[in-house]
Structure 1
Amino acid sequence: MTSTTDSASPRRGRGRPRRIDQQMIVEAARGIPVGELTMRAVAERLGVNRKALNYHVSDRDGLLDLLAAYSLADGMSAIELSLSRDWRDLLRDFASQTRTVVASLGDLAEYSRVDAKLDAAALKPAEAVLRSLLRAGFSTRTAGLALANIAELAFSAGRNDIDRADASTHKTTASIRQILKSTREPGFPAMEAVLLADNGLLGEEQFQFDLRVAILGLEQILANEA
């Protein structure tokens, strides 16, 4: 005779996989060096079958994209900007802090991009930039273009910082020097003079120069839109 209690009690199926979510995957992935990061490594840390990850990420590139998105979101969410500052100063603050965030991503920086994986809190600095520009008198379209321009500048500078940290000079600079050293073509005195001067190409001086040019350009645009 079958027990009523036995027949009524739900039982967990044998071998039912552990439930995981994106946050759990990211936390597990953060404990693994990027060079060693694989779907199998994350699955083992979580104590699940590798296939359990496929609902959230399909392969290693997807895993890296997810980890980069969460890391970028954490960094951008921590940026603090004051709307009481002049729009120029606020742009400088945004660019500088965004550059630092991107540089802190290290090997994940090449996978970082703005996409749907970002938490809305990561967009608050961009919202502050747009509000500041609109309040200064820029049109909505120009404010959007300016934000994209400054963000691209900051992301590029952050990635350059990573490259410079891995070598005595930036990869592009080193490549140009190698080209000039090996070529038999004459006629590059200006290029050689710039490289010889070692004037901070793609470093801090380059970042400040790019930012200054962008802001000067925006000042001119604002004057034309007024």
Structure 2
Amino acid sequence: MSDIKTNRSKVRTRGKRAGLDLHQIVEAARSLDANMLSMQSLADFLNVDRKALNYHVKDRQTLLNLVAKDMFSCRFSSNGIAKSKNWQDACRLYAMDLVDGLTALDGLAEHFNESLASWGLEPTEALFGWLGKAGFKDDVAVRLVAMLVTLCMGFARDAIQVKNSADRPRPRTLRAALANVDVSKFENLARIADLEVDTYNRKQMEFNLEIFLLGANAILQPEV
């Protein structure tokens, strides 16, 4: 952060005179622990009066939203999507970039705006462009994108849950449930529990995405 100086020996400055802009504030906030981030802790870090921050950001919630949006936007753009070979590749890239953007947020994921109204205009515009070229009607394209975003958000939530842990809740809870019953009555579940398939890794997301694409293609090319 070459443009951010935090010389605590200097007198704190206020309002416009602090020389801050929104970019500097967000950049500084990203360097701090999100769980400990507050308007006051950021003001202390920047060595400015808290009112200097309030001139740009009204409260902690707004600050967290701005930090989350900035982190997310670094990984979710329209560049690759616009250059995709076809609508399927556009969907794949959109989905994986969305997942990467969400998982990068970690604890800030709760501040993600589900509608993508302001967080992903360009990539979403590019995706709808590909779906339109492929022949999907607008109402169908809307439902497909809503489904795709739901798939991505669900997977990202799971991935964040296990990101810093070796624990996999689904197989663990299944094994715990089977430990208290007669497993002979649940031979299918017992067999599945022994497999310990990891449904939290990238391979699972790729599987989800290919099923989505198969379904979408079936809509595009219905059987005669």
TM-score per shorter chain, which class?
0.7 to 0.9
Question: By how many angstroms is 1:19 displaced?
Answer: 5.7
Query: Distance between the aligned counterparts of 2:164 and 2:190, measured in 1?
Result: 23
Question: By how many angstroms is 1:30 displaced?
Answer: 1.0
Question: Which of the residues 142, 145, 164 maps onto 2:143?
Answer: 145
Is the Cα–Cα contact under 8 Å of residues 95 and 154 in structure 1 kept in the other structure?
Answer: yes
| 3-state DSSP of counterpart to 2:80 | coil
Match of 1:133 in 2: 131
Deviations 1:54-99 (A, max 9, x none): 4554543332222111211222137512445121122112212222
Question: Which of the residues 149, 158, 161 maps onto 2:159?
Answer: 161
31-40 or 150-159, which deviates more: 150-159
Match of 1:206 in 2: 204
Is the Cα–Cα contact under 8 Å of residues 199 and 205 in structure 1 kept in the other structure?
Answer: no
Q: Structure 1's 16 and 168: CA in aligned 2 closer, same or farther, altered over 3 A?
A: closer
> Match for 1:137: what amino acid?
G
Query: Distance between the aligned counterparts of 1:145 and 1:172, measured in 2?
Result: 29
Query: Distance between the aligned counterparts of 2:116 and 2:95, measured in 1?
Result: 19
Query: Distance between the aligned counterparts of 1:79 and 1:137, measured in 2?
Result: 22
Deviations 1:175-202 (A, max 9, x none): 4444444x45865443332232122223
Question: By how many angstroms is 1:147 displaced?
Answer: 1.6
Give the number of aligned pairs.
Answer: 208
159-168 or 122-131, which deviates more: 159-168
State the TM-score, normalizing by the size of structure 2. Answer: 0.77
Is the Cα–Cα contact under 8 Å of residues 133 and 143 in structure 1 kept in the other structure?
Answer: yes
Query: Distance between the aligned counterparts of 2:116 and 2:100, measured in 1?
Result: 20
> Match for 2:152: what amino acid?
A
Compute the RMSD of aligned alpha carbons.
2.9
Query: Distance between the aligned counterparts of 1:92 and 1:43, measured in 2?
Result: 41
What are structure 1's unaligned runs of at least 5 residues? Answer: 1-14
Q: Structure 1's 45 and 86: CA in aligned 2 closer, same or farther, altered over 3 A?
A: same
> Match for 1:107: what amino acid?
G
State the TM-score, normalizing by the size of structure 1. Answer: 0.76
What's the % identity of the aligned pairs?
30
Query: Distance between the aligned counterparts of 2:173 and 2:215, measured in 1?
Result: 31
Question: By how many angstroms is 1:101 displaced?
Answer: 2.2
Aligned pairs for 1:104-119 within 5 A? 104-113=104-113, 114=115, 118=119
Match of 1:48 in 2: 48
Deviations 1:127-185 (A, max 9, x none): 2211111111100111122122222222333333333321213334434444444x458
